Amino acid sequence: MPKISILIPVYNRKKFIADCIQSALNQTISDFEVVVVDNASDDGTWEVCQQFAEKDRRVRVFQNDTNIGPVKNWLVCVEKARGEYGKILFSDDLIFPQFLEHTIPFIENPEVGFVSTGVIIGASPENGSIYFSSFGDESFISSPQYFQLLLNASVPFSPGAAVFRMKDIRKNLQVSFPTRIPRDFTLNGAGPDVLLFALTAIAYKSVVMLPSVDAFFRSHPESISILNNDNEVENGYRAALAWFFAKKLSGKYWRKYAARSWLSKTLKTRKISSLVQHCVYYEGRGTIIEALMVLVTAFSLAAGKLIGFLRRH
C-alpha cells in the first residue's frame, strides 16, 4: 500500500487538471498514490484523468454517476484513499516537487497534528503573492499558539497546502454541525476545511508550519474565493469558527473571537450594534451576562491595540 494519498476532487477543470495531476506526479519521493474523483464533469475533464491513469499506475481515477457537490466529492476521495497520510490537492492548484519531501518527515512525529507550507496565490506561480511562510524555520507551534493564530486569521484555512494523517481526515472532515443558523456546508467547503485543521490540532501537542513555499493556489474567475456570492465564503468560515470556539475550546477563545468581530464591525460601520444579537449570530447563548463579558473583552482588545500604537509612536 502507498504511504501517502494525494486526493484530487475535480469537476469541469479540463483547462487545469493535467497540470494539477502532473504536479502531484512530479514529487521527489515516490511512495504515494494520486486519487482523482471526477464529479460527473461534462467538459472533457474525465478523459484527461483517464489518460493519466493509463500512463501511470500511481494514478487511480473514479467518476461519480451524478454530481454530488464539491464537499461530498472530497469525502469520496477520502473513501478511496489507501495511504497512511493524506494531502488534498484541489484541481486548479499545484504542489511543487518537494512538497512531500518537506512535509512528510514532520507528520511522522506522533505529537504533530498536521504540517502546512507557504503558498503562492495568484493567476500563475510566476505572478502571485506569497502567504503563510513567515513562521520561522521549521516552526513547531503548540496547539494553544495555533488557536491564537486562528483567532487572528493568521494561518491558512485551505487544506491545499497541508498534509494530515488519513485517520484524522476521516474523523475531522465534517460536512455538517449544529450551528444556530442552519447552513449547507456542502456547497463550497468554506467551514469544513478550516475545521479539519482546528479539530485535528486540538488532539495533538503541536502543528508544524514550514517557511518553504511548496504550493500554488490559482486565482481565476471560477475559483470559490472569487465566486463568493452573498459573502457565502466568509459566512461559512464565521459559522464554523464560532461553533468551534464556542463548543470545543474554553470561553476565553470564543469571547475574543466574538469581541474582535464586533469591534471590527463597529469600526467599519461606525454604528454600535446589539451585542446580544451579535453573540447569538456567533453561536453564543445571547444572554445579557454573556454580552457584557464580550464587551469587557472588546474593551481589553481595543486598549491593547491603543497601547501598542502609542509604544510604536
**The predicted structure's pLDDT at residue 138:** 60
Say if residues 275 and 294 touch (Cβ distance below 8 Å).
yes
Q: How far apart are CA 144 and CA 277, in angstroms?
A: 28
Can you give the pLDDT at residue 176? 83
Each residue's pLDDT expressed in tens, for the chain with a length of 313 residues: 899 999 999 999 999 999 999 999 999 999 999 999 999 999 999 999 999 999 999 999 999 999 999 999 999 999 999 999 999 999 999 999 999 999 999 999 999 999 999 999 999 999 889 998 777 666 899 999 999 999 988 888 889 999 999 999 999 998 888 888 788 888 888 899 999 999 999 999 999 999 999 999 998 666 655 444 557 888 889 899 999 999 899 888 999 999 988 988 888 887 888 899 999 888 888 899 999 999 999 888 877 665 665 566 5
- Cβ within 8 Å of residue 279, ≥6 positions away: 258, 285, 286, 287, 290, 291, 294
The answer for residues whose C-beta is within 8 angstroms of residue 101's C-beta and 6 or more apart is 27, 28, 29
Furthest-apart CA pair in the chain: how many Å?
64
Supply the pLDDT for residue 250.
Answer: 81
In this structure, are residues 274 and 294 in contact, taking their beta carbons and an 8 Å threshold?
Answer: no
What's the confidence (pLDDT) of residue 226? 43
Residues 95 and 23: beta-carbon distance below 8 Å:
yes
Residue 134, C-alpha cell as written in the block: 513567515
Lookup: cell for 66: 451524478
**Within 13 Å of residue 191, how many CA atoms lie on the same side as its CB?**
27
Q: What cell does 34 get? A: 494520486
pTM above 0.75, yes or no: yes
Is residue 45 within 8 A of residue 92, CB to CB? The reply is no
Residue with cell 474523483: 37
223-231: list long-range contacts, CB under 8 Å, 24+ apart. 223/92, 224/188, 224/189, 224/190, 227/188
Question: To the nearest 5 percent, what fractions of the chain are helix, strand and coil?
Answer: 45, 20, 35
Helix (H/G/I), strand (E/B), else coil: 103: helix
